[in-house]
Every structure is written in C-alpha cells, then in structure tokens.
Amino acid sequence: MSYDVTLGEALSGIADELNVLCEESAELKAVYNQASTDTDLTFIKIIEHRYEDLTEEFIKLSELLEELRVKLKDMMEGVSSGR
C-alpha cells in the first residue's frame, strides 16, 4: 500500500512543479507583452507568443496529470476492495 502513497506523492510533486512553471511562464509572457507594446519589436512579440504556447502546454500537462491521478486512485481503490 505504500507504493500508491509514494506514487501519489510523486504525482502531487509533479503537479506542484507544473503549476509553478505555468505561473512563471505566464509572468514571462506578461513581461514580453509589455516589452512588445513599449518597443513594437517583432521578435519580442514572437517570444511573447512562445511563452503563451508554453503556458498552454503546461496547462494541458496539468490536466493530463490530474486524469492520471484520478485513474490511479480508482485503480488502487479497486485493488484494495478486491475488484
């Protein structure tokens, strides 16, 4: 039973890290958004869009991780109840 706790803790740690990465990516996007507004430089706008894409990917990974966590929990509950 300690296996599922350890795996659950690992998934929780990954989720926490993804949340931090998502927040930091969104912050950097905001910085580049302001810079592109101030300077009107195309390459800065490109970087801003890349951070936007990266943030979206982090969100997708977080959602996938949550789905995995729920499936794992359901599976472990099934095993412990003898299903």
Distance CA(14)–CA(25), nearest Å, equals: 16
In the structure, what pLDDT confidence band is assigned to residue 1 with cuts at 50, 70 and 90? very low
User: Taking 60 as the threshold, does the pLDDT of residue 8 lie above it?
Assistant: yes
What percent of the chain is modeled with pLDDT above 90?
11
The Cβ of residue 65 has, within 10 Å, a number of other Cβ atoms equal to 15
**pLDDT at residue 3 tops 80:** no
| DSSP per-residue string spanning 42-82 | HHHHHHHHHHHHHHHHHHHHHHHHHHHHHHHHHHHHHHHTT
Tens digits of per-residue pLDDT, 42-75? 888 888 889 899 989 999 998 998 888 888 888 8
